[in-house]
Amino acid sequence: MSIDRVVLIVLDSVGVGALPDADKYGDEGSNTLGNIAERVHLKLPNLERLGIGNIIELRNIKSAEKPEAAYGKMASKSAGKDTTSGHWELSGLILDKPFPVYPNGFPKEIIEAFEKEIGREVLGNKPASGTAIIEELGAEHIKTGKPIVYTSADSVFQIAAHEDVIPVQELYEICKIARKLLKGEHAVGRVIARPFIGKPGNFVRTDRRHDFSLVPPKPTLLDAVSEAGLEVMAVGKIKDIFAGRGITRWIYTHDNMDGVDQTCNFMREGKIGLIFTNLVDFDMQYGHRNDVDGYASALEDFDARIPDLLDALNKNDVLIITADHGCDPTTPSTDHSREHVPVLVYGDRIKPTKIPTRSTFADLGATVADLLGVPYNLSGESFAQTIIY
C-alpha cells in the first residue's frame, strides 16, 4: 500500500467505555475518558480535530464536522484486562486463558522457593497499592533488608526495594530469579521491579522500574515486521511487554513527554517500519491512584504534543493512537477496567472516515501489517482497505 512507516502510540489505560462483559470483571459503568470528561472540563483541541469526540460522546469536546483522522473503537477478545494481554492482542495474539492472579497473595511454595533462591526473606506478599505498601513496610525493609513483594488485581509479581538497601541492578537480578520461578500455572504476566528512595514518611518510587514479561508464546506483528526486514523501534515499556521479541531497536523513557520526544526522534531518523510507543503515565501515575485531575492534565499535556507528532510525519507515514485497556480513576476500584479502546488513524493517505467497531484489538495488528505490506497470518481482520486512499 506504499506506506513506509506506521507510528503506533498506545495511551496506556485510556479506555472509552465498558465492554459488554465488563460485569464479569466488576467494571460496569467504567469509561475512563468519558467519566474524566464528566468530572473535569477537558480541553483536547488536537484530539478533537482528529475525531476523538466522534468515537464517543464527551462532555465539552465536540464531534468534529470534518474529522482529520479515521476514527472508531475496538473491543477485546482476550481473557483479562491487563497491559500484556492488551498489547499482545493489538499485535495479533489473542489469549483464551487469563494470566493467573493472586487476590490472597502468592502461595507458600512460591514464596519459599523465591526466598531460598535470593537468600533473603520477604515482606508483604499481598495485594496492595505500590505507594501504600512502601509506606507501610518501607521502614521495616530498610531495617531488615527484606524486599517487599506484592501484587494487584493484575497478573503481576512486584518487588519493591529501596535503592540504598538493594541496589537497582541487584533488584533486577532478583526479579529475573522470580521470572524463572513463575512458570506453568503460576506464569504471571509480569514481574516488576519497583525501586524507591527517600525516608519513612517520604518515600518516592523512581523511574528505574523495569518489567520482566513472559515471552509471547506465538509470533506477533512485531515478528512479522522485523522478519520482513523492516525496523521495529520500541519506545517506553514496549520492549519489556514483548520480552524483546521482534524488536530491532528500543529506548526506555522517563515519562509521557519523554516518550513523545523519543518517538519524534525515531521519526526524524526516517527509517521505514514500525515505531511502537507506550505512554504509561496515564495508567501508572494517575489511573491506579484514582487521580482524576492528574489524569486530565496528562491527557491535555499529550494533546499539546500532537502537533509535534504530526509535523514529524512524512507523506507515506501513518500515525495511529489507541489504548490497551481502561483504568477509570473515577470509580472506587484502583485496578484496570474492561473497556473498549479508541483508535485514531491519521496520514496523507488516510481517509477521515468512521471505522466500524472492531470485535478484537487484533484487527489493528492486521491493519498495520497490511499498510506496511508485510506477510501476516495472525489473528485479526485488516480494515486498511476502508481507510486508505
Summarize pLDDT for 14-45 with one digit per residue, the tens: 999 999 999 999 999 999 999 999 999 999 99
Distance of CA 361 to the CA centre of its chain: 13
Q: According to the model, what pLDDT value does residue 97 have? A: 87
Is the pLDDT reported for residue 1 higher than 70?
no
Is the pLDDT reported for residue 193 higher than 90?
yes
Q: Distance (Å, rounded) from C-alpha 363 to C-alpha 385?
A: 12
pLDDT tens-digit series, residues 304-313 = 999 999 999 9
What order do you get walking across the sheet with 273-279 strand by strand? 70-74, 341-346, 317-322, 5-11, 273-279, 231-235, 249-251
The model scores a pTM over 0.85: yes
Q: Which three cell numbers stand for residue 105?
A: 497473595
Identify the three-state secondary structure at position 358: strand
Amino acid at the residue 4: D
Q: Distance (Å, rounded) from C-alpha 381 to C-alpha 375?
A: 13
DSSP codes joined into one string, 307-337:
HHHHHT--TTEEEEEE-S-B--TTSS--S-B
Q: Is 164 exposed, middle or buried (CB count within 10 Å of its CB: 0-12, 13-18, 19+)?
A: exposed
Q: Which residue do the cell numbers 521495529 mark?
A: 232
Q: Which three cell numbers stand for residue 135?
A: 509506606
Q: Which three cell numbers stand for residue 361?
A: 484489538
pLDDT tens-digit series, residues 104-159 = 999 999 999 999 999 999 999 999 989 999 999 999 999 999 999 999 888 999 99
pLDDT tens-digit series, residues 165-192 = 999 999 999 999 999 999 999 999 999 9
If phi > 0 it is left, if psi is from -120 to 50 it is alpha, else beta; for residue 153 that is alpha
Is the pLDDT reported for residue 229 higher than 90?
yes
Is the Cβ–Cβ distance between 319 and 361 less than 8 Å? no
Q: According to the model, what pLDDT value does residue 153 have? A: 80
Give exposure, 74-104, as e/b (b: 16+ Cβ within 10 Å).
bbbbbebbbbbbbbbbbbbbbbeeebebbee
Amino acid at the residue 225: V
Is the pLDDT reported for residue 50 higher than 80?
yes
Is the pLDDT reported for residue 211 higher than 70?
yes
Q: Which three cell numbers stand for residue 72?
A: 472508531
Q: According to the model, what pLDDT value does residue 98 have? A: 86
User: Nearest 5 degrees, angle CA 130-CA 134-CA 140?
Assistant: 150
Q: How confident is the model at residue 74 (pLDDT cuts 50, 70, 90)?
A: very high
Tally DSSP H helices, then E strands, for the chain.
14, 13
Is the Cβ–Cβ distance between 335 and 154 less than 8 Å? yes
Q: Distance (Å, rounded) from C-alpha 142 to C-alpha 196?
A: 11
Average pLDDT, the chain: 96
Please state whether beta strands 231-235 and 273-279 pair in parallel, antiparallel, or not at all (unpaired): parallel
Q: How confident is the model at residue 96 (pLDDT cuts 50, 70, 90)?
A: confident
Q: Which three cell numbers stand for residue 358?
A: 472492531
Q: Give all domains of the chain, ordered by start, each with its CATH number.
A: 5-93+216-387 (3.40.720.10), 108-212 (3.30.70.1250)
Nearby residues of 269 by Cβ (< 8 Å), 6 or more positions away: none
Give the residues across from 339 on adjacent strands. 18
Is the pLDDT reported for residue 11 higher than 70?
yes
Is the Cβ–Cβ distance between 211 and 226 less than 8 Å? no
Identify the three-state secondary structure at position 198: strand
Residue 14 dihedral angles phi and psi, to the nearest 5°? -85, 75
Q: According to the model, what pLDDT value does residue 129 have? A: 87
Is the Cβ–Cβ distance between 272 and 7 less than 8 Å? no
